[in-house]
Amino acid sequence: MTESPARPRSASEIAAQAHRRRTFAVISHPDAGKSTLTEALALHAEVIDSAGAVHGKAGRKGVTSDWMEMERARGISITSAVLQFSYRDHVINLLDTPGHGDFSEDTYRVLAAVDAAVMLLDASKGLEAQTLKLFDVCRSRKIPVLTFVNKWDVPGREALELLDEVEQTIGLRPMPVTWPVGIAGDLRGVVECATGEMRRYTRTAGGATKGEVEVLDPDRAAAEEPLYLETVVDELELLREIGAEFDEDDYLAGTATPVLFGAARHGVGVGRLLDALVDLAPAPAPRPDADGTPRQLDTPLSGLVFKVQAGMDRSHRDRTAFLRINSGRFERGMVLTHAGSGKPFATKYAQAVFGQQRTTLEEAFPGDIVGLVNAGALRPGDTLYAEDPVEFPAIPSFAPEFFAVVRAKDAGRYKQFRRGISQLDSEGVIQVLRSDRRGDQAPVLAAVGPLQFEVVTARLADEFSAPVTLEQLNYNVARLTDEAGAEILNKESDTEVLHRSVDGALLAVFVNKWRMETIRRKHSDVMMEPLLAGA
């Protein structure tokens, strides 16, 4: 017997399903503990039974395809995994972001697909460079931010000092939800700021196993935990005096951040973070289309492609597009329309992607991420919809700061080379620029960070059997211009105008800001607009 065809769902069911979703990403500086926290969250929600099943990092188990060897060797995460688990009758979608700044364009795209973010801080380091950059993206996209102060089990900084840093540096009012009992390095547990109730943790040795929790009411905490009486009571009082009280509206408006403390490696505070996500983080809401009109959740299916990835399964040479559902109910087998081209897109091979593992996915709701296999025609920023046409705003490209000419080492492999470049371009791995002057054999690659070149070089050799040489160019500033501008700017020395393949934009590139400014003064009527600030 075949399964029954699409069961139409009521608007209220779609709304109820959307209401259960929490779709978020963790923003942090490398080494703050993002992978550890991701695993701990998944462990806590009891979807996996051992740490390491999520990421393929060195020393942990996990499946990686060959070109991911590079990220393993470097201990960085280039590919983003999407994790889905259920917790307290909610569905949590955790979108992983690459930690390294050179891949911040990928991170930006991921942040286009979330409703909330967790800002993860290392207790001994506080706000670090990469976190600040990613926070700026959250602010510009109006993504509400929860803060998790990690590694409280090892000596670090004072809690109040960290809060002060958050307020002073990024102007976000910290609102502690929990407070550590014990100084950094001697963590006894965390206390609920609102009630004074303490969660005491019994640490489990070694890896990311679930911390044992014992809940103590304030009297018992005071009686049994000397540090509770000596410091926490006063500190909570102080917090009240300095106006750190909780206000959900301020959190949602992006002017304040709830703060939680813990130690991901020992599972401490991780369950509390999940609770905060469920209780505080916003569920998917209607998303504005390119004209600013919100796409209501219960309208027919629509979604945004925020990531395209190839080579996840080498035996199939697959290419997966990750679609964030913005409205409606997704059902495998639906035929969607690609907003850019108007072409149909069949979804027979929709998958749920869990780390490196895939399972066939039958249905999905707003906030969920669907992996679409064989997605040759899709690129980041594309909209897919059913029935009722819509197009979501494009995801802007970053301003590249590194440029290199790429050539096939072996002229006989030009066909493979061309195919590879076009594939990497449409995945959004790198920006590909061309000009008549340089010709098709020698396109210019433009990157936000130089590691992107390494990825391209490795993948061209590995997946496309097209080893390449790179010749770095001396440019490091790009501006948008138009045809008239191109004609003028191309006559200037140390400057050229290139065509970006992905969107047809004309990019004028300059050796440095100083030279760019000189040219701008000389041709004040020429269009020279900044691109979105990059890494």
Residues that bind ligand GDP (CB under 6 A): 28, 30-36, 99, 150-151, 153-154, 263-265
Judged by phi (left if over 0) then psi (alpha if -120 to 50, else beta), residue 254 lies in left
d(CA 533, CA 396): 10
CB of 117 to ligand GDP, least distance (A): 14
CB of 406 within 8 A of CB of 470?
A: yes
b/e map 66-104, b = 16+ CB within 10 Å: ebbebbbeeebbbbbbbbbbebeebbbbbbbbbbbbbbb
Of 131 and 495, nearer to ligand GDP (C-beta) is 131
Residue nearest to ligand GDP (CB): 33
* Residue whose CB is less far from ligand GDP, 32 or 91: 32
Residue 81 CB, shortest distance to ligand GDP, in Å, is 12
Of 35 and 426, CB closest to ligand GDP: 35
Asked if 213 and 199 count as a contact pair (C-beta separation under 8 A), the reply is yes
The CB-of-123 to ligand GDP minimum distance in angstroms stands at: 8
Q: Return the bridge partners of 121, or none.
A: 149
Q: Which phi-psi region, left, alpha or beta, contains residue 185 (left: φ > 0; alpha: ψ -120 to 50)?
A: left
Q: CB of residue 269 vs ligand GDP: minimum separation in angstroms?
A: 9
Minimal distance in Å, beta carbon 42 to ligand GDP? 13
- Is 98 or 400 the residue whose CB approaches ligand GDP more closely? 98
Number of helices (H), then strands (E), in the chain: 15, 31
Closest to ligand GDP by CB, 263 vs 408, is: 263
Torsions phi, psi for 312 (to 5 deg): -75, -25
Q: Pseudo-torsion of CA 448, 452, 453, 454, nearest 10°? A: 150
- β-strand 173-176 against 256-261: which pairing, if any? parallel
Q: Hey, CA dihedral for 508, 511, 516, 522, is it positive or negative?
A: negative
Q: Least distance (Å) from ligand GDP to the CB of residue 513?
A: 32
Closest approach, Cβ 25 to ligand GDP, in A, equals 13
Q: In this complex, which beta carbon is closest to ligand GDP, that of residue 71 or of residue 368?
A: 71
- CB of 421 vs ligand GDP, minimal distance in Å: 30
Of 154 and 442, nearer to ligand GDP (C-beta) is 154
Nearer CB in complex with ligand GDP: 265/459: 265
Q: How far is the CB of 386 from ligand GDP (least distance, A)?
A: 37
Torsion 461-466-469-475 (CA) sign: negative
Measured from the CB atom, the residue of 455 and 528 that comes closer to ligand GDP is 455
Identity of the residue, 148 or 403, whose beta carbon is nearer to ligand GDP in the bound complex = 148
Residue 31 CB, shortest distance to ligand GDP, in Å, is 4
Place of tokens 């090892």: 154
Cβ of residue 281: shortest distance to ligand GDP, in angstroms? 20
Distance CA 34, CA 390 (A): 35
Closest CB to ligand GDP among 159 and 498? 159
What does the alpha-carbon distance between residue 339 and residue 382 come to, in Å, rounded to a whole number? 7
**Count of residues for the chain?**
535
What's the token pair of residue 64? 């990686």
In 438-497, alpha helices (H): 451-464, 483-489
* In the block, residue with structure tokens 């371009």: 425
Which residue pairs, CB below 8 angstroms and at least 24 apart, start in 308-311? 308/375, 308/378, 308/379, 308/380, 308/426, 308/427, 308/428, 309/79, 309/80, 309/427, 310/423, 310/427, 310/463, 311/65, 311/66, 311/67, 311/459, 311/463
